[in-house]
Each structure stands twice: as C-alpha cells, then as structure tokens.
Amino acid sequence: MRYDEMSREDLSRELEELRKEYRRMQALELHLDMSRGKPCIEQLDLSMGLMDVLDSSSDLTCDDGTDCRNYGQLTGIDEARELIGDMMENNPNDIIIYGNSSLNVMYDTVSRAYTHGILGNTPWCKLDKVSFLCPVPGYDRHFAITEYFGIGMIPVPMTPTGPDMNMVEKLVAEDESIKGIWCVPKYSNPGGISYSDETVRRFARLKPAAKDFRIFWDNAYGMHHLYDDRQDYLIEILAECKRAGNPDLVYKFASTSKITFPGSGIAALATSPNNMADIRKQLRIQTIGHDKVNQLRHVRFFGDIHGMVEHMRKHADILRPKFEMVEKTMQEELGDLGVGTWTNPLGGYFIGFESLPGCAKEIVARCKKAGVTMTPAGATWPYGKDPKDTSIRIAPTFPTLKDLEAASRLFCLCVRIVSAEKILKEKEA
C-alpha cells in the first residue's frame, strides 16, 4: 500500500517499526560503500593476464616496424587504433589513442577549446560567456570540468530515451554562448539509460547557433552489457553526423578503464578528420607520444574485438547478480509504497534512484549514520545542487554481494523512513 494512502495512525506505527529496525541495523556497525563506480577485486582479477602478455623475451615491435619502446607514434600504434576502433565502432584513422584516462582527454578537449578555440573560432577564454548543456542527473566529474573553466551549466532533464531533445534543439539553436553538451549515451551515469535511435538522430541534426558547438559524447560503457540476450544498441554518432551533413559536431570518448584496470588502461578520442587535424596541432606540442608498450599490451591481451567481447561477458557474470540483488531488494522493500522510482539498466555501472521531492539528502545522510556510504546527494547535478533534492546514484559494482545485500536493505529502510516522515508531516500540516 502506498504510504500516501495510509492513515496517519498506520503510517506512524510503520515509522516506529522502521526506526526500531534502523537502530538494530546501526548496532551492526556496518562499513559499506555504494558510492564509487569502481570495479571489484574479482573484476580486476579478470585482467591479470595483461601482466603476462609481455615479458623480456617479447618482441615489442609493431607490424609497421615501430619499436614500442622508443619515441614516436603521436596518435597511437596502428594495432591499438584498430582494436579501439572496433570497440568504439569507428574508423581507426578517426581515432587518437591517449594515456590512461578518458577524463583527462575530456579535460584536455575543453582546455584546448578554452585556450585556442575550435577550428579557428574564438578561444573560449576570450568570450564573455560560454555555456554547456548538462543532462541531469549526470556525471559529477563532467560538471566539475566545466565548472573549473567557469563555463555556465544549463540542466536539461533526462527522459527514458535520453535528454529532452526539444529543449536541447531549442537552446542550441537560440543561444550562441552554448558551446557543448555532456552526454553519456549508453548505460548512462547515473541512470543506466541508453539514448534512443530518435535521440541520436536528433543529436546528429542539431543546428547550433555556435559554429564551435560540440557534443561531448562520453561512451564510457559501450561494452558494458549485463546480459547476453538483452543489450542496448546505439546508433554510431560520428557516422550519423556525417550522414546528416554535420561531420564535425562530435568529440567521442572512451577508455578501457573499466575493461582492464582503471588507471592502467588506454583512453581514446574519435572525431572527424577536420577536428582531428585541429587537435593534432596541439598534440604534437603537448607530447611526443603516449604509452605504446601499454597499447601493445592491451592488443596482445585481447587479440581482437571478439576477445574483448568475451572478456566483457566475464565482467557481466560478476556484475549481473549485484545489479539484480539491488533491484530485487528495492522491488521487495519499496515496490508498492510510492516512495521512489529507480532504473533497471541493462548495463553500465549505476542504478539511478529518484526519491520523493526533498528527500535525497536526508536519505543519504541516514545511510551514512548507519555505516553505508552513498554518492553525495546532489552530485548528479551541476554545482552539486539538485533543486528538487530527489536524485541518488547507486553504485553496486565494488561491494561483495553479501555487503551489497546489507547495504541495499539499509538504503531501502532509509528511503522508507525519510519518505514516511515527509508524508506524515504533510498529512499533519
């Protein structure tokens, strides 16, 4: 029965029971963490073979004769561009292999636009106003980059098919100060939502007022399916932009951080030849080249894209029960109470939870007091400010299944308590 349909008396009694249960759980002195999108130890163990593929007897020479141990190959070795090309569904020629962090590539991309402009347009540092569209809820580290550069952030609501495209189209067409939009198009952070075909098609057909408007397409979870038989497919954005006559509209980012080792993977950017030429002007000033030995290590470890797909099935086998456990717990504990909604993603690293208005902060605080750390409420909004205070990001990957069960139960309990308190207050007002 929905809490808001319960009588004051019944809801009061319920709340009393919940509080008892909360005290009981507090006494367990839990120390659990559902805050970070980190792979768990079993996932990391899947890639230990990376440490074996190269040894001192290995030939570290590429097919084209490049000695991976020495300087050179600014945009990456051919073998890595091919593998990552298959991973990103892009032509290897449209790919630059970077260092270990796609976040760093995104930072660098914003920074370059800020200092030097895009394709001959005015550097953003010379403009009075620069803004980005920020689909919300979204990824806090994206928003942190734009905030760091003093770029205004305009929230755009997410829908089950992606950002509200009516709003996106209208805003970019009207406002020349809007220079970009942050997108996690597949298994989004935090909702696990994948953009629909229509959304991608409309993105590729945007008519921005700003010539230097770019879509920052962070396809972080392109390979991260939870199921073999149910997978989201995304229209490849570079190709769609090209077909739509908008070839230069997108910077696309990806990495192997959550495929092999976070921090020791390889990151990449895919974009049009025009954008690529623009970026190379900077890249050759910035570095002589990225870590080719690590590129070769990844290529030899996976062999080819099929090897990577098989590897991702092993990740899925570890993660699937965790997602299902959290979803099952929420269904059991919150299913018919009308105290929140959540997503049931088919991949990615997160589940998005929407509480009743004004409850998210309090729920997270209550979790904390009973030993369960959640991502701070508000983190999914620009400046950390969620105006309705409803969005909570659940990260089920890192804890063990056992810990996750305890943490999910506690989370649901906190949702119930805070929601009941709110509804009761409203009934009494």
Which residue ranges make up the site for a copy of itself (CB under 8 A)? 36, 38-39, 41, 44, 47-49, 51-52, 54-56, 58, 60, 67-72, 99-101, 103-104, 107, 111, 114-116, 123, 125-126, 141, 144-145, 148-149, 261-264, 282, 285-294
Question: Helices in 89-136 by DSSP H: which ranges?
Answer: 102-116
Give the max Cα distance, the chain. Answer: 79
**98, 135, 376, 416, 421 from 356: Cα distances, Å:** 42, 20, 16, 10, 11
Token couple for 292: 């080719």
**Residue 91 or residue 264: which is nearer to a copy of itself going by CB?**
264
**Smallest separation, CB 197 to a copy of itself (Å):** 32
Of 3 and 143, CB closest to a copy of itself? 143
CB 125 within 8 A of CB 201: no
Nearer to a copy of itself, 72 or 357 (CB): 72
Nearer to a copy of itself among residue 114 and residue 342 (C-beta): 114
Helix (H) or strand (E) holding 355: strand 351-355
Nearest to 372 by CA among 21, 31, 22: 31
Name which of 54 and 167 has its Cβ closer to a copy of itself. Answer: 54
> 1 vs 51, which CB is nearer to a copy of itself?
51
Q: Rank residues 36 and 409 by Cβ distance to a copy of itself and give the closer one.
A: 36
Burial bucket for residue 263 (CB in 10 Å: 0-12, 13-18, 19+): exposed
CB of 33 to a copy of itself, least distance (A): 13
Minimal distance, residue 346 CB to a copy of itself, in Å:
24
Q: How far is the CB of 2 from a copy of itself (least distance, A)?
A: 40
Prior bond to 190 cis, omega within 30?
Answer: yes
Of residues 101 and 196, the one with the C-beta less far from a copy of itself: 101
Q: How far is the CB of 195 from a copy of itself (least distance, A)?
A: 25
61 three-class SS = strand
Residue 307 beta carbon to a copy of itself: minimum distance, rounded to whole angstroms = 16
Q: How far is the CB of 114 from a copy of itself (least distance, A)?
A: 6
Q: How far is the CB of 305 from a copy of itself (least distance, A)?
A: 23
Strands of 377-419, DSSP E: 391-394
Residues 6+ apart with CB under 8 A from 422: 356, 358, 359
Question: DSSP state, 225?
Answer: B
Residue 216, strand partner residues: 182, 251
Structure letter (DSSP) for residue 288: S
Rounded CA separation 200/218 (Å): 13
